[in-house]
Amino acid sequence: MRKKCKRKVWKLVNPITHAIEGCAILTDKDLIELRIRELNAIDSMVNGTGTVDDWDSLNGMNNLAETMSRAGIGVEVLEVCQKAQEELVKSAKRFEAIGRMGLTGEGIQIMRELFQYHDLQRRSVTRSDYERFIQKSINIVRGKGKNVQEI
């Protein structure tokens, strides 16, 4: 009896549909889960019942918006990102002091404005570019770049 190859055969990806999906602008269907997560985080921070995960969601949104802004997509967002970063730091210090996570009135307005700007940024780039910005943002935080604040 002859020996048989036990190599696993992987399902092939259709390169044409893969390229078309990568070049397409993100649809609302693709982004709805991300939007719900961010809006729920803002809502829980408004009510003063925010968790560390909610804070992390807002921080990730802020980091990604800042990375996209520095790359030239929505350069007007950079000022809002700086204010949002200050509010997130205040929120983290308040959480350490009293044990409740929340935002001030100004912080709530800034986070809502940041969400709207970032949503426009997301809708103006292709899926592959958005994934590239996500990875770039992660690498900046992981590499502790010059603009990274440790909290």
Q: Answer yes or no: is 70 within a domain.
A: yes
Q: Span 94-118, mean pLDDT?
A: 91
Q: Answer yes or no: is 106 within a domain.
A: yes
pLDDT of residue 151: 66
Grouping H, G, I as helix, E, B as strand and the rest as coil, residue 147 is coil
Q: Answer yes or no: is 121 within a domain.
A: yes
Cα(34)–Cα(61) distance, rounded to whole angstroms? 10
Q: Span 43-49, mean pLDDT?
A: 89
Q: Answer yes or no: is 8 within a domain.
A: no
Q: Answer yes or no: is 75 within a domain.
A: yes
Q: What is the mean pLDDT of the chain?
A: 86
Q: Span 79-96, mean pLDDT?
A: 92
Q: Answer yes or no: is 131 within a domain.
A: yes
Model confidence at 115, pLDDT cuts 50, 70, 90, reads very high
Q: Span 11-38, mean pLDDT?
A: 76
Q: Span 128-151, mean pLDDT?
A: 81
Q: Answer yes or no: is 71 within a domain.
A: yes
Q: Answer yes or no: is 11 within a domain.
A: no
Tell me the DSSP string of 4-50: ---PPPPPPP-HHHHHHHHHSBPPHHHHHHHHHHHHHHHHHHHHT-B
% of the chain beyond a pLDDT of 90: 42
Q: Span 122-149, mean pLDDT?
A: 84
Output the CA torsion 48→54→58→60 (10° steps): 160
Q: How many domains does the chain have?
A: 1
Structural domain that includes position 125: 27-142
pLDDT of residue 18: 66
